[in-house]
Amino acid sequence: MTLHRGQVAAPPRTLVDVFRETVAECADAPALDNGATVLTYDELAERAGDLAVRLGQEGVGRGDRVGVRIQSGTLDLYVAIIGTLLAGAAYVPVDADDPDERAAVVFGEAQVAAVLGDDLAIDVRVPREPRALEEPDVTDDAWIIFTSGSTGKPKGVAVSHRSAAAFVDAESRIFLQDHPIGTDDRVMAGLSVAFDASCEEMWLAWRYGACLVPAPRSLVRSGMDLGPWLVANDITVVSTVPTLLALWPADALGKVRLLILGGEACPPELADRYATATREVWNTYGPTEATVVACAAQLRPGEPVRIGMPLDGWDLEVVDPSGQPVAEGETGELIIGGVGLARYLDPEKDAEKYAPMPSLGWERAYRSGDHVVRDETGLIFGGRIDEQIKLGGRRIELGEIDAALTALPGVGGGAAAIRTTGSGTKILVGYITIEGEFELSAAMERLRDELPATMVPRLASVDTLPTRTSGKIDRDALPGRSRPCVPAAMSSRS
């Protein structure tokens, strides 16, 4: 199969088109079930339509951006997303548990016209006259999701309806071809809507008339307790990250017939454990900047773990430092093109990361920063070129954490790194040099106020931060897993 599949993208349409088609075909089928209330597709469409009208009455409509910050696991969260799309606007999600400062930065950078909160309350940020509802166009933005930034500032990535719907339709061409997802299926929603993989969960249900079943956040965080929940809720489709899957007992997936993994490197043993004659297991790869997933591979026991070949509509290439394609079996940087390309809100960042690729003849290309092995059977992931990491499926720029650490009172410098505990658990550690008065509890409180929970590190003090000849921090030379994360030397001071 070729790495260039841009010419076989699904016909252009919007997510609103996708949703309305499903509502027309599956009106009475369950669309949402949070354990307390079940909404059919007709009922979801009615509630979301009412919200779209309310937004229009507040002057919010096509071309606008609407912040969404609603407690996870609630039906209102998903009504807000569909309602925003029906209003012709793009939704900008922030996890309800993230700090207020993070929400303020995201909503400010996105210049949202309004924010939807719990109970679907509308907080208008830009007062306007009422507007009539107007359908979104394929070129309009569907969502804007912010990722970690190397400069200490999150980066807003806007995905058009064309790209989003093409992604949804492309996945429909690869998963469960013999027995497609349908109204009898129940899809787990376990990921934060501020994480782009949540888009896959939602539309794995809503394109086919399946039921989306939000998992309680407390269970998702605990990991171990989620296994019984999967069984009790008759979950048949799961999209998750390998680190979370590894916590579940194998029998918890007894009813699951489609298991999609992504967000981080997949250990080979997971394929051996979970791929069966009655369950498809897929490994997916894709940055937020290329609309969730760019390529995928079905995993089978005893075979190498691959990230596979491009989805229909996506172009991939593996290049050397000069931009020329590498030979079969060689390693290079993965370059992405095609219908899935999104854009940064920051024009300068957009021009840098989506610059033309003359050597390939591409007018716009995303440089992934990932090493992959070119293999005609399916690409093999080879790690990062830069200092970006994945933890729990969430992409993290270590530079953003470095900046937060260095800004702490009493800290001379800071650097973050991933370390592995004696039990094999990966953790995020922030190494700091202390200069003057430093108070641990105050430092941790400040980090929790400024950073999402997934980016708050455990702290450890060091005498110096090792550097390379280039002047960059040598993260590999920082203390390893045997060093206490919060040594006695860092006890609180007054």
* Chunked mean pLDDT (size 10), the chain, 494 residues: 92 98 98 96 98 98 97 95 98 93 94 98 94 96 85 84 98 97 96 92 98 89 79 95 78 94 82 89 95 96 92 97 94 96 96 94 94 93 67 68 82 81 78 85 89 86 66 66 38 30
- Sheet-wide strand order for 314-319: 314-319, 331-338, 366-373, 380-384
> CA–CA separation, 143 vs 164, rounded Å?
9
Are the beta carbons of 205 and 30 closer than 8 angstroms? no
The residues facing 143 across adjacent strands are: 91, 159
Q: pLDDT value at position 493?
A: 30
Q: How many domains does the chain have?
A: 2
Q: What domain range is 131 assigned to?
A: 6-373
Element (H, E) at 274: helix 268-274
The answer on 153 and 42 residing in a single domain is yes
Residues 201 and 281 in one domain: yes
Residue 379 lies in a domain: no
Q: Is residue 435 part of a domain?
A: yes
The CATH number of the domain holding residue 172 is: 3.40.50.12780
Last residue of a domain, one of 329, 346, 373: 373
Final residue of a structural domain among 321, 343, 373: 373
Shared domain for 362 and 411, answered yes or no, is: no
Asked if residue 418 is part of any domain, the answer here is: yes
The pLDDT of residue 78 is 98
Q: Are 479 and 417 in contact (CB under 8 A)?
A: no
352, 285: one domain? yes
- The answer to whether residue 378 is domain-embedded is no
Note whether residue 384 is domain-resident: no
Residue 255: its H or E element: none
Residue 16 CA: distances (Å) to CA of 19, 84, 136: 5, 10, 8
Looking at the structure, tell me whether residues 346 and 409 fall in a common domain: no
For residue 305, give the amino acid letter.
Answer: V
In a domain, 472, yes or no: yes
Q: Which of 373, 404, 425 is the last residue of a domain?
A: 373
Residue 383 falls inside a structural domain: no
Query: How many CB atoms sit inside 10 A of residue 211's CB?
Result: 26
pLDDT at 170 (0 to 100): 98
Geometric angle at alpha carbon 386, from 400 and 349, rounded to 5°: 65
Reported as half-sphere exposure (CB side, CA atoms, 13 A), residue 91 has a value of 29
User: Is residue 349 located within the same domain as residue 397?
Assistant: no
Cβ 149 vs Cβ 155: under 8 Å: yes
Q: Does residue 394 share a domain with residue 369?
A: no
Instruction: Tell me, yes or no, whether 277 and 403 share the same domain.
Output: no
The verdict on 145 and 208 lying in the same domain is yes
Which pLDDT does position 30 carry in this prediction? 98
Pair (84, 227) in one structural domain = yes
Query: In the 3-class helix/strand/coil scheme, how is 313-380 assigned residue by residue?
Result: CEEEEEECCCCCECCCCCEEEEEEEECCCCEECCHHHHHHHCCCECCCCECCCEEEEEEEECCCCCEE
Nearest to 371 by CA among 244, 312, 302, 285: 285
* Residue whose tokens read 């059919």: 40
Nearest-angstrom CA–CA distance, 70 and 194 = 11
Position 17 in a domain: yes
pLDDT at residue 384, as a whole number = 66
Residue 19 amino acid letter: F
Count other Cβ atoms within 10 Å, centred on residue 266. 24
Same domain, residue pair 467 and 323: no
* Residues 481 and 400 reside in one and the same domain: yes
